Amino acid sequence: VSGRLYGLGIGPGDAELLTLKAVRLLGQVAVVAYPIPASGVSLARSIVADHLPTGIVELPLPLPFDGKGGAEAAYDQAAAAIAAHLDAGRDVAALCEGDPFLYGTFIHLHVRLGRRYRVEVVPGVSSVMAAAALAGMPLAARDDALVIIPAVIEEAAIERLLATAQAAAILKVGRHLGKVRAVLARLGLEDSAICVERAGQPGESVRPVAGLAEAPYFAVILVHKDRPPCRA
Ligand SMILES: C[S@@+](CC[C@H](N)C(=O)[O-])C[C@H]1O[C@@H](n2cnc3c(N)ncnc32)[C@H](O)[C@@H]1O
């Protein structure tokens, strides 16, 4: 029989935000797969480092961030490398920061392997939840509608989405900060927005969006029309 694939949500960076289930599975699987950046170390691996048993096989996967060229071929190769272990009967845990099914790299592996193998997805603490907790800013209450917006979409689309909801979490900020700020300013929402960077990671910060010159890729902007940030 082929092995089982686990899409393991490992939270935003703080190892204490790993679930008990993720820790248990890391102690049981034969192989742990994780994305590695073009340069530098794997953030995902560093989050679980204390829970990797001796002898576990490590499968680092060179996967580009969303939207970068060559992504499809890289995901094909990563899926093939994982499939080889599954075919040999070995269980594989594929690590995914935050939650696997919220813009997670794991989605691209699930698409390729989900029909051929037994797959179990283990939810993780998403950056959206971690950012709200760090900022002390409730995401939504009562009849609030909360939208999750990837900053990479067109300015007009961001504006339409923001206009329809009481609250928003804007992901993938990085080089799209200027565009997001322009929309927030037009809607009179800049003072109701906060930028949470690297939540749960070294150097985490919470800053008001008004006046912000730059933001990293690992940043979430939270906006609430009726509940402005307490700690801005
Ligand atoms: C490809 S998405 C992955 C989201 C992840 N699966 C989740 O559930 O949080 C990457 C985006 O998530 C957000 N992000 C992930 N980790 C973060 C962190 N520790 N602090 C702030 N934002 C983070 C950023 O907006 C980043 O651009």
Residue 66 has pLDDT above 90, yes or no: no
The 10s digit of each residue's pLDDT in 101-159 is 999 999 999 999 999 999 999 999 999 999 999 999 999 999 999 999 999 999 999 99
Residue 189 has pLDDT above 60, yes or no: yes
Query: What is the pLDDT, as a whole number, of residue 38?
Result: 78
Give CA–CA dist 5/32, Å, rounded: 10
CB atoms within 10 A of CB 201: 16
Residue 231 has pLDDT above 70, yes or no: no
Mean pLDDT across the chain:
94
Residue 67: pLDDT band with limits 50, 70, 90: low
Distance 89 CA to ligand 1 centre (A): 32
Residue 55 has pLDDT above 70, yes or no: yes
Distance 3 CA to ligand 1 centre (A): 29
Q: How far is CA 46 from CA 43, 85, 130, 189, in A?
A: 5, 22, 18, 36
> DSSP secondary-structure letter at 135?
H
Q: What is the 3-state secondary structure (H, E, C) of 74-97?
A: HHHHHHHHHHHHHHCCCCEEEEEC
φ, ψ of residue 211 to 5 degrees: the values are: 85, 0
If one residue of 171, 180, 214, 222 were mutated to test the ligand 1 pocket, choosing by the most ligand atoms within 8 A of its CB, it would be 171
Nearest to 56, CA basis, from 95, 26, 78, 14: 26
Query: What is the pLDDT, as a whole number, of residue 40?
Result: 78
Query: What is the pLDDT, as a whole number, of residue 229?
Result: 62
Q: At 62, is the secondary structure helix, strand, or coil?
A: strand
Give CA–CA dist 199/135, Å, rounded: 9
Give residue 57's identity as a one-letter amino acid code.
V
Give CA–CA dist 194/228, Å, rounded: 9
Q: How far is CA 44 from CA 23, 86, 121, 183, in A?
A: 13, 21, 16, 33
Looking at the chain, the whole-number percentage of residues with pLDDT higher than 90 is 91
- What sign results for the dihedral spanned by CA atoms 41, 47, 53, 56? negative
Residue 232: pLDDT band with limits 50, 70, 90: very low
Query: What is the pLDDT, as a whole number, of residue 65?
Result: 64
Residues framing ligand 1 (Cβ under 6 A):
12-13, 66, 97-99, 102-104, 126-127, 131, 171-173, 196-201, 217-220
Nearest to 193, CA basis, from 223, 150, 170, 225: 223
